[in-house]
Amino acid sequence: MSEEKKLTFKEKIANIKRTVNMVNTADPGSLTRALAKNIPQIINFYAGVYLASLVIDGVTAAKPVSWLLMAALIVCVVELVSFLISRVICVKQNCHEFTLKENLNKLLWKKTLTLDYSKAESIDTRNKYQTAHNYIDEQGITYQIELISRTISALFNLIVGIVMIAPIAFSKPVSAVGFIGFIQSGWGFAAVIAIAALIISVNSFVIIPASLKDFHKFNTDERLHELNRVGQNVFSRCVYNYRTGKEIRIYKEQELMLSKYDYVQKEFVKGWGITLKKGNRYILIINCLNALLTFLIYGFAIVRAASGMISPGEVIAFAMYFGSIRGGLDNISNDLSNLFERTEYCRSVFDFLDIPDEKYKGSIPTEKRDDNEYEFEFKHVYFKYPDTEEYVLKDINLKWRIGEKMALVGRNGSGKSTLVKLLCRLYDPTEGEILLNGIDIRKYSTKDYTDLFSVVFQDSALFAFSIGENVAVDTEYDRELAEECVRKAGFSERFDDCPDGLDTCLYKDFDSRGVEISGGEAQKLCLARAVYKGAPFIVLDEPTAALDPISEYDIYTKFNSIVGTRTAVYISHRLSSCRFCDDITVLDKGEIAQRGSHDKLVSSEGVYADMWRAQAEYYKDTAKELFL
C-alpha cells in the first residue's frame, strides 16, 4: 500500500462533520433515529434493575405479597413499554437503512456519470470508485453514524448510571477504619472509578488502536483493492452478463475464470490470516484487562456488602450499575477510538467524490441557427492521452461545414476515433484549439455544445430498457418519431416481430419477454437513437462494422435521407463504404496524410490508394475462396 499522509485531529473532526452532513442529506433524520433506538433500551435496563432490587429487598424484608406482585408488574410493564417503543423505532430505522445506502451509492454513481471522460477512463479513478464503494457502507460512512449514535448513547448511559449508583455509594456513613474504611468511603469509590477508567483508557486508546492499525492497513491495501476489482469483474462477467456464456463454453474458459478468482481469494485469505495473527496478541491483552476490571467491580461490591453498607438488592443493583457504567466508559472510548480511526476509510469516499473536473466547462451558449450554418476548425491540434508521452494526433488542421458528408479514414490506430473524441469535447487538445464558428469550443457551455452532436460509436451501448426508451433516451417521448427513426435505420423487419413494439424490452436481464438482438441490429438502433436526437452534426464511427453486406448497402443507399441536411462525419477503415462522401480525410500515424474526393485519392499515389488496392485484392481473393 502506498503511504498516505495521516489525517490530523482537526481533519478527522472535519471528516466526521462531513459524514454527518452527507448522511443527513441522503436520508434526513438518520442520526436521530439511530440514537433514538438505543435510549429506550438504556432506560429499560436501569428501570428493570432498580425495580428488581426493590423486589429482592422486599422479599428479604418480608414485604406483603401484594406489594411484591405490584413491583413485579411494574417491572414487566416498564420492560414491555420500552421494548415496544424500541421496536417501533427499530422498524422505522430498518426501513430507512435501505434508502440511506442506496442514496449514498447514488452519490457515487452520479459522480461517475458526471466526471470528465478523461477521468472516467482512468484506472486510478476506477480503483478509487471501488474503494469508495467498499467504504460507503458498513465499514465506512454508515458505520460512522452508528458509532456516533453509540457514543452519544453510551454517554447517556454513563450519566444515568452515575445518577443511579450515587445513592448506593454515598447514602450510608463509613463504619470502619483502615482498608475497609477506605473502601466504604467516597474516596474508595473514586479510586475504583479511577482504576476502572485507567484500565478502560489503556484498552481503548492504546491497545485497541494498535490492533486496528493492522486491520486498517489490510482494508486500505491498494493492491488488494485492485485484486478485488479484478475478482468482481470476472464474477460479473461470468454470472451477471449471461451474453458471455457462449465464449466461456466454446473456448473452455471456465478454468481460466476460476483460476483468476481463486488467485484473488487466496491473496485475500493470506492477507486476512496475517492480520488476524497479529491481532490475536492484542485480543489476549484486552481480555486480561477486562477480567481484572470485572474482578475489581465485584470485589468492591462484595467488600461493601460484607460490611453491611448495602442490602442484598443493592448489591445486585450496584454490581449491575457499575458494570453498566464500566460498559459506558468502555463503549465511549472504544467507539470514539473507532470513530477517529475510521475517518481514514471515509476519506476514501471523499477522495472519490472530490476528484476535480479539470476540463473548463465554458459559459457561452451555442448559437441556435435556423440555417444550421456551423463551421468546425481544427487549428494545429496536438493530443496525447493523460499519463502518456506519445502524441496520438500531430498538427491537425481541418475544416468542416454543416451539410457536408465527410469521411475520416485510415488504418487502425491512426487516430480517427481520438479526433472525434476531441471534436465532441470528451477530451481537450494537448496543444492547439478547435473552433466553432471562430470561437474556441472550450468557451461554450458544455451542455449546449454536446447538444450539437449525435454519435454512433463503434462500441455504442444499449441498455435493458424498452426499444423506445433506448432510442429516445427518455421515458416520455414522441412515439411516432421514434418508430420513424427505427424504420429509417433499417430495423423495420425485426421491429415488426417485436411483441410490444416500442415497449418491447431489449435483452432478458429484467424481462423474460425481452428480445435478444444481434450486433448489427444493435448498431441500427444506435443509429436510430442518433437520428432521433436531431443534432445538426452526426458522427458515425464504424457504424456498419457489425452489419452484413446487404444491410450495409441498405444503410448507404438511404444514408442521405437518414442524415438529411445535417453534417455527417463517417469514420472507417473500409474504403468502399466512403465513396458516397463529399470529402475524405486520410489519417496516417496521427497526421493528415491526404484529403480529397474518392476518385481524386484513388488516382493519386499515397496511403488511400495503397489501402484501396489492398482491400480490393482482399475482396477479390476472398471471392475466389468462396466461389471456386
Q: Are 50 and 317 in contact (CB under 8 A)?
A: yes
pLDDT at position 412 is: 81
- Rounded to the nearest 5 degrees, what angle is found at the Cα of 286, between the Cα atoms of 281 and 287? 100
pLDDT tens-digit profile of 453-486? 888 887 778 888 899 999 998 888 899 999 999 9
Residue 628 to residue 618: CA distance in whole angstroms: 15
Kind and range of the H or E element at 262? helix 254-306
Task: Classify the C-alpha dihedral 197-199-200-204 as positive or negative.
Answer: positive
Q: Can you tell me whether residue 319 is helix, strand or coil?
A: helix
Q: Could you give the C-alpha distances from 473 to 162, 467, 477, 500, in angstroms and in order?
A: 63, 10, 8, 18
Which pLDDT band, with edges at 50, 70 and 90, does 247 fall under? low
pLDDT at position 312 is: 78
Residue 453 backbone phi and psi in degrees, to 5? -120, 140
Residue 563 to residue 533: CA distance in whole angstroms: 12
Cβ-based neighbours of 443, under 8 Å, separated by 6 or more: 362, 363, 364
Residue 319 to residue 296: CA distance in whole angstroms: 10
pLDDT at position 246 is: 57
pLDDT at position 431 is: 94
pLDDT at position 429 is: 93
* pLDDT surpasses 80 at 201: no
Strands (E), 195-332: none
Q: Which among 3, 338, 318 is positioned nearest to 162, based on CA atoms?
A: 318
pLDDT tens-digit profile of 33-65? 887 878 888 888 888 888 888 888 888 877 788
* pLDDT surpasses 60 at 619: no
For the chain, the first-to-last Cα distance in angstroms comes to 62
Which amino acid is residue 272, in one-letter code?
W
Which amino acid is residue 117, in one-letter code?
Y
Q: Which among 302, 334, 335 is positioned nearest to 318, based on CA atoms?
A: 302
Instruction: Please state, for a pLDDT cut of 90, what percent of the chain lies above it.
Output: 9
* pLDDT surpasses 90 at 322: no
Cell of 375: 463551421
Cell of 496: 415488426
Q: Could you give the C-alpha distances from 53 to 168, 325, 417, 540, in angstroms and in order?
A: 12, 17, 81, 83
Residue 60 to residue 231: CA distance in whole angstroms: 66
Q: Are 220 and 348 in contact (CB under 8 A)?
A: yes
Q: Can you tell me whether residue 439 is helix, strand or coil?
A: strand
Residue 518 to residue 545: CA distance in whole angstroms: 12
Residue 399 to residue 415: CA distance in whole angstroms: 17
Chain centroid offset of residue 496 CA? 40
* pLDDT surpasses 70 at 566: yes
Q: Which among 359, 440, 452 is positioned nearest to 116, based on CA atoms?
A: 359
| pTM over cut 0.75 | no
Instruction: Please state, for a pLDDT cut of 70, what percent of the chain lies above it.
Output: 81
pLDDT at position 468 is: 93
Burial of 216 (0-12, 13-18, 19+ CB in 10 A): middle
pLDDT at position 174 is: 57
The DSSP string of 599-616 is HHHHHS-SHHHHHHHHHH
pLDDT at position 51 is: 82
Q: Which among 35, 25, 11, 22 is positioned nearest to 135, based on CA atoms?
A: 22
Which pLDDT band, with edges at 50, 70 and 90, does 591 fall under? very high
* pLDDT surpasses 70 at 394: yes
Residue 397 to residue 379: CA distance in whole angstroms: 5
Cross-sheet strand order for the sheet of 375-383? 393-401, 375-383, 431-436, 439-440
* pLDDT surpasses 50 at 320: yes
Instruction: For residue 204, give the DSSP letter.
Output: I
Residue 420 to residue 408: CA distance in whole angstroms: 9
pLDDT tens-digit profile of 94-114? 777 778 888 888 888 888 888
pLDDT at position 623 is: 41
